[in-house]
A and B are shown apart, each in its own frame.
Chain A
Amino acid sequence: MGGIADIAAGRLSAEELSENFQDMYPALDERQAHIEASRCYFCYDAPCMEACPTGIDIPNFIRKIQTGNYRGSALDILTENIMGGACARVCPTEILCEEVCVRTTQENKPVTIGKLQRFSTDWLMETGEQPFERAPSSGRRVAVVGAGPAGLSAAHRLSMLGHEVVVFEAREKAGGLNEYGIAAYKVPNNFAQREVDFILSLGGISIEYGKALGRDISLKELNTEYDAVFFGGGLGTVRSLGLEGEGMDGVYNAVDYIAQLRQSETKTDLSIGRRVVVIGGGNTAIDMAVQAKRLGAEDVTLVYRRGPEDMSATHHEQEYAQTNGVTIKHHAKPVALRSSDGVVTGVEFEYTQTNTSGKLEGTGETFVVAANMVFKAIGQVFVTDPVTASALSLDIQEGRIAVDDNRQTSVPGIYAGGDCVLGGEDLTVAAVQDGKLAAHAIDQYLRG
C-alpha cells in the first residue's frame, strides 16, 4: 500500500497532458456540417424543439446550415439561448434533443444536433460580432447575483431589454460551472471566458468580482438599491459521506479539485494519486474520474451505490468514462475510510441491494479498494443562509428557493434561477432558460 508519496504531479509529460485535455470531440468542418445538416428531415412539430429546455427552433437552424446561412442559423440559437456555444458542448443531448430526434426512432442514429449547434455558434463568435442590440434605456437598474449561466443569461436579456445590469460575482472570473466546474476537455481553449466576453460585448452589463452575497453584499441592500434583483447562485457546499476521518489527507471534494484543475493552464502542477477512487454517480463524478485518468492516475475506480440506470450521469457519459479506462462499480456504498498515519489508503465498501419497498440496504458483504486519493462527488447542496437572512428572507422548499413560473421568488421584485431554485434540472441549458424567463418577467415587472 503506497503512502502520500504516491500522489504526484507531472505523471505525464506536458505534451501528453496538453493532448489529453484537448477538445473531447473535434468540431465539424464546413463539409461535415453540411452532410450532417442534410440528414435533418425538417420535421413539423419537431420533437427536438420540444425537448430543448430553451426551445431553440432546431430544424430551422439546421436548415440554415444546409443553405450556408450561418448567421441566420446562429441567431436562431442565440436568440433563445445566449450560451448556445457552451450548451452545444456540455448539454447531455443524448437525453434531450438527440434522444427524441426522429432519426433515433428510425435508425438509432440521431442528427448530431449538438455538434451542428456548435458549428453555427462558433462561426458567429469567430466573426467577433455581437448580433444583438439594446433597446432604448429604461433608466432602470437590475442587480444580478452570480455570473454563472443563469446570471449571465438574465443579464444579457435584461440589457437587451434596455435595463442597466450590475452582476455580483463571488469568484474572480465569470462563467460559473463553465469556468470552474465542467471537465476541461469539454470547454477547452478558454471557451468559457470567450463566451463571457461575447455576452458582455452587448454592453450595459458590469461585473463586480469578489462580491459574495451574505459576506460583501446583502439581499436587503440589493433590494433597496436596485429596481429588481435576480439571484443566480449555485450550490455552495458538497454532501459529506458521513464517515469517520473524512477530513484526513487524501480525501477531497471533487468540485474543489476540478475548479483547481480548470484554473491550471498546463495541468503539470496538479498532483494526482496512483490509485484514485471517486464516489458518486453524477457528471461531476464522471468528470473527476476521467480527468484523474487523463492526469496519469493508473487505476481510477468510480463507485456508485445503485445501478447504472440510476446514475444521473447519462449512459453516454458512463460509456465515455469506461472507454477512458475508468472502472465503474455499481451497487456499493462506502462504509469506512482506511488510513495509515492519518493518510488515506483505501475505502471499504459494502454491496447494496434494493429491498422490496424500494429502499437501498447493505448486504453485509464488503470489499476494499486501495486509494491514494478519494474524491467525493455525491452531490451538492444549496446554502440558504445568504437568502434567508433575517432582514430579508426568501421562501425555501426542499432546500432550494421556491419560485413561480416566471421565476419570481416569494418577494416581489426578486427573481431566481439556475441550480438554486426548486425544480431545477441542474443543467446549464435549464439555467440559461431560467435567466431568460426571469429577465422577461422582470421587464414586465419594471414596466408594469
Chain B
Amino acid sequence: MADLSYDFVGIKTPNPFWLASAPPTDKEINVVRAFEAGWGGVVWKTLGEDPPVVNVSSRYGAINYNGQRMAGLNNIELITDRPLDVNLEEITRVKKNWSDRAIVVSLMVPCEEEPWMRILERVAETGADGVELNFGCPHGMSERGMGSAVGQVPEYVEMVAAWCKKHTDMSVIVKLTPNITDIRQSARAAVRGGADAVSLINTINSIVNIDLDVMAPTPTVDGKGAHGGYCGPAVKPIALNMVAEIARDPECNNIPISGIGGISDWRDAAEFMSLGCGTVQVCTAAMHHGFKIVDDMKTGLSNWMDSKGYKTIDDFRGLASQNVTDWNQLNINYETKALIDQDKCIKCGICHIACEDTSHQAITASRVNGERHYEVVDQECVGCNLCALACPVDDCITMVETDNGKPYMNWNQDPRNPHRSAAE
C-alpha cells in the first residue's frame, strides 16, 4: 500500500491533506474534529494583532451550476475575530494532543518588522510546526495595507519573508495571491527572501452574483456588497496554471509548494501533486460536505498510487510539470481528427451544431434511411476537441492521431513563422 506520509520543509504529516487557513480551522473544536476525521494537518486561521477584527453578518456568496451547489464560493470574512491569546492557547493544546499532525499557523500583521517579530515569538511557544504568511486575502484586510496589498508588491513579499526567516526557526511558507498578472514575480520574491515554501492560490477578487431585486452584490450586507475572495472547484484551473508556472520557473529554484484552489477529491490532489505540490490544502469542499471527505481523498490517492506503482508521493510528484511547456515548443506537425463512434452516438446533434455554428463546419448533419447521422469531414477538422468535449456520451467522440509522417517542428522552426529563430 502506498505511503502517504510526507515531510514538507521539515513539517512531518501523516498524509498530504491539510485544511487551508479559513473558517474550518478557526477554533480548537473544529480542528480537533478534523483530526478525528483523519486530516493530516491544518493551517490555523490567520492570526493578527489584538484587538481582534470584527466580522460582518452575511459573509458568503456562491455560484451554483445546473443544480450543483457551490461550484464557486466567495467570502468577505476577515481573519480570526478571536483574541490572540485564545487562539495561541488552543493551538498549544491541540498540538500537544495531536503531535503526529501538522499545525501551521497563518499570520497577518502590519508590514513592519516589529509586529512580525512579536507574533512569531508568541507562535513559536505553541509548538506549531510552521507559519504561513497571509499575503493573499483580497478583501477587507487589503484596505488596511495587509493581505494581498503586500502580496501584490514583490519587494514587500521578499522583505517580510526575510524578517520572518530572521526571527524564527519555524518553517516559513509564503501564501501567494493570484490577484496579479505574473505569479512568478511574487514567488521569486519569496525565494529571494529565503522562504522555505510557497502555498497558492489564495482567493481571487470576485463578485459572484448580483441580486437583481436589491441591485447589489451577494453576499449583501444591509443593501451593499463588497468584492470578496473566490474559491472552490471553479478556481482550480487558475490555481493549476499558477502552480505550474512556479514549478517550471528556473528562478523559483524548485521551491516546495503547498497547492490550494478548488481541491475537492483525491484526483484534484493528485493533479496538483503531479505539478510539484508536496501537500495540498482544502477549504470549500470541507465547508460544503464536512470533514469526512478526507476519507475518499486518502483511500482514493492510495488506491490510484497502488494502481500506478507509486510507493511514495515523491514517486509521482512533479511528473507533469516537465510536460508543461511554452506554446512555441508544441509540435505544429502533430495532427488529430475527431472520430465519431456511430454505435455509441445517441443522435443529439450537439457535435454538429457546436462545430457548425462556432467552429469549422467539420461535422455534417444528414439523414440516412430517415435516421439522423453525424459525420466528421476530415479535411475540415482541425482537431480542436470541441465536439469531443461537448458530446454527452463517454468515449463516443475520440480524437485520433493522424500519421502524417511529418517530424517534430515547433513554431520557432516553422518556415511560416516570419520571426522564426535563424539558428533553427
Residues on A facing B (Cβ under 8 Å): 34-35, 38, 41-47, 66, 102-103, 105-106
B350 & A41 in contact (Cβ 8 Å cutoff): yes
Identify the closest chain B residue to A42 (Cβ). Answer: B350
Q: How far is the CA of A34 from the CA of B372 in the complex (A)?
A: 28
Taking the nearest CB of chain A, how far is it from the CB of B356, in angstroms? 8
Q: What are the residues of chain A within 8 A of B67 when measuring CB–CB?
A: 34-35, 38
B393 & A44 in contact (Cβ 8 Å cutoff): no
Taking the nearest CB of chain B, how far is it from the CB of A29, in angstroms? 13
Q: A34-B67, A38-B67, A66-B66 are in contact. Are A43 and B349 (CB under 8 A)?
A: yes
Identify the closest chain B residue to A104 (Cβ). Answer: B346
Interface size class of B (residues with CB under 8 A): 10 to 19
Q: What are the residues of chain B within 8 A of A45 when measuring CB–CB?
A: 349, 352, 365, 372
Q: How far is the CA of A66 from the CA of B365 in the complex (A)?
A: 27
A43 & B393 in contact (Cβ 8 Å cutoff): no
Check if B353 is an interface residue, CB within 8 A of chain A. yes
C-beta contact mask, B184-221 vs A, less than 8 Å → 1, else 0?
A: 00000000000000000000000000000000000000
CB contacts between A and B, total, < 8 Å: 36
Identify the closest chain A residue to B66 (Cβ). Answer: A38
Q: A34-B67, A66-B66, A106-B393 are in contact. Are A47 and B350 (CB under 8 A)?
A: no
A105 & B66 in contact (Cβ 8 Å cutoff): no
Q: A34-B67, A38-B67, A66-B66 are in contact. Are A44 and B346 (CB under 8 A)?
A: no
Q: How far is the CA of A106 from the CA of B344 in the complex (A)?
A: 8
Taking the nearest CB of chain A, how far is it from the CB of B375, in angstroms? 14
Q: How far is the CA of A43 from the CA of B391 in the complex (A)?
A: 11
C-beta contact mask, B329-369 vs A, less than 8 Å → 1, else 0?
A: 00000000000000000111110110000000000010000
Identify the closest chain B residue to A107 (Cβ). Answer: B346
A44 & B66 in contact (Cβ 8 Å cutoff): no
Q: Which residue of B350, B353, B392 is within 8 Å of A106 (Cβ)?
A: B392
Q: What are the residues of chain B within 8 A of A44 when measuring CB–CB?
A: 348-350, 352-353, 365
Q: A41-B392, A44-B353, A45-B372 are in contact. Are A102 and B66 (CB under 8 A)?
A: no
16 cross-chain CB contacts under 8 A? A34-B67, A35-B67, A41-B348, A41-B350, A43-B347, A43-B348, A44-B350, A44-B352, A44-B365, A45-B352, A45-B372, A46-B348, A66-B66, A103-B346, A106-B346, A106-B393
Taking the nearest CB of chain B, how far is it from the CB of A64, in angstroms? 14
B372 & A47 in contact (Cβ 8 Å cutoff): yes
B350 & A105 in contact (Cβ 8 Å cutoff): no
Taking the nearest CB of chain B, how far is it from the CB of A249, in angstroms? 53
Q: What are the residues of chain B within 8 A of A103 when measuring CB–CB?
A: 346
The 3 closest A-B pairs by CB, nearest first: A44-B349, A44-B353, A102-B346
Q: What are the residues of chain B within 8 A of A66 when measuring CB–CB?
A: 66
* Contacts A42-B350, A103-B346 known; 20 new A-B pairs at CB < 8 A: A38-B66, A38-B67, A41-B350, A41-B392, A43-B347, A43-B348, A43-B350, A44-B348, A44-B350, A45-B372, A46-B349, A47-B372, A66-B66, A102-B346, A102-B347, A102-B348, A105-B346, A105-B347, A106-B346, A106-B392
C-beta contact mask, B229-247 vs A, less than 8 Å → 1, else 0?
A: 0000000000000000000
Q: What are the residues of chain A within 8 A of B352 when measuring CB–CB?
A: 44-45
Residues on B facing A (Cβ under 8 Å): 66-67, 346-350, 352-353, 365, 372, 392-393
Taking the nearest CB of chain B, how far is it from the CB of A355, in angstroms? 32
Taking the nearest CB of chain A, how far is it from the CB of B222, in angstroms? 26
Identify the closest chain A residue to B396 (Cβ). Answer: A106
Most B CB atoms within 10 A — which of A41, A44, A47, A103?
A: A44
Q: What are the residues of chain B within 8 A of A41 when measuring CB–CB?
A: 348, 350, 392
Most A CB atoms within 10 A — which of B66, B348, B372?
A: B348
Q: What are the residues of chain B within 8 A of A35 when measuring CB–CB?
A: 67
Q: What are the residues of chain A within 8 A of B350 when measuring CB–CB?
A: 41-44
Q: What are the residues of chain B within 8 A of A46 when measuring CB–CB?
A: 348-349
Q: How far is the CA of A44 from the CA of B345 in the complex (A)?
A: 13
Taking the nearest CB of chain A, how far is it from the CB of B344, in angstroms? 9
Taking the nearest CB of chain B, how far is it from the CB of A366, in angstroms? 45
Taking the nearest CB of chain B, how far is it from the CB of A20, in angstroms? 34
Q: How far is the CA of A105 from the CA of B392 in the complex (A)?
A: 12
Q: How far is the CA of A105 from the CA of B353 in the complex (A)?
A: 20
Q: How far is the CA of A106 from the CA of B395 in the complex (A)?
A: 13
Q: How far is the CA of A34 from the CA of B66 in the complex (A)?
A: 8
Identify the closest chain A residue to B356 (Cβ). Answer: A44
Q: How far is the CA of A103 from the CA of B350 in the complex (A)?
A: 13
Taking the nearest CB of chain A, how far is it from the CB of B117, in angstroms? 54
Taking the nearest CB of chain A, how far is it from the CB of B211, in angstroms? 14
Q: How far is the CA of A8 from the CA of B214 in the complex (A)?
A: 61
Q: What are the residues of chain A within 8 A of B349 when measuring CB–CB?
A: 43-46
Q: How far is the CA of A58 from the CA of B66 in the complex (A)?
A: 18
Taking the nearest CB of chain B, how far is it from the CB of A436, in angstroms? 26
Q: What are the residues of chain B within 8 A of A47 when measuring CB–CB?
A: 347, 372
Q: How far is the CA of A47 from the CA of B393 in the complex (A)?
A: 17
Q: How far is the CA of A103 from the CA of B67 in the complex (A)?
A: 18
Q: How far is the CA of A35 from the CA of B66 in the complex (A)?
A: 7
Q: What are the residues of chain A within 8 A of B347 when measuring CB–CB?
A: 43, 47, 102, 105
Q: What are the residues of chain A within 8 A of B346 when measuring CB–CB?
A: 102-103, 105-106
Identify the closest chain A residue to B64 (Cβ). Answer: A34
Taking the nearest CB of chain B, how far is it from the CB of A100, in angstroms? 9
Q: How far is the CA of A42 from the CA of B353 in the complex (A)?
A: 11
Taking the nearest CB of chain A, how far is it from the CB of B227, in angstroms? 25
Q: How far is the CA of A44 from the CA of B387 in the complex (A)?
A: 13
Identify the closest chain A residue to B357 (Cβ). Answer: A44
Q: How far is the CA of A239 from the CA of B347 in the complex (A)?
A: 43
Q: How far is the CA of A41 from the CA of B351 in the complex (A)?
A: 11
